[in-house]
Amino acid sequence: MGSFSLIHWIILAVVLLLVFGGNRFSAMMSDVAKGLKNFKQGMADENDKPAERPPEPRPLPRAERPIDVTPTPEPRRDPTSAPDDRTNG
């Protein structure tokens, strides 16, 4: 019930020929064939080319550089050195 039978496909083809006309339909099909041929040719040309390296990025001017917000680690203190000023003792 959900599939098309042969008679459905024939009726669909006749309706398409009536709507588009025989000449217009064949021209449309030839355009589709040319498009497929050009697509295949373009894909073949792409595979034949050697891989190109992308250009080196240029350094940004100082005004355009992103702001560095990476926290800097505090220097390690020697536990045997003098006590900190922040202690209560």
Q: Which of 36, 11, 40, 14 is nearest to 25 (CA)?
A: 14
Q: Which helix (H) or strand (E) holds 35?
A: helix 22-48
pLDDT per residue over 6-63, tens digit each? Answer: 999 999 988 888 887 777 778 888 899 999 999 998 888 766 666 677 788 888 777 7
Token output for 73: 């680690």
pLDDT per residue over 53-67, tens digit each? Answer: 778 888 877 777 777
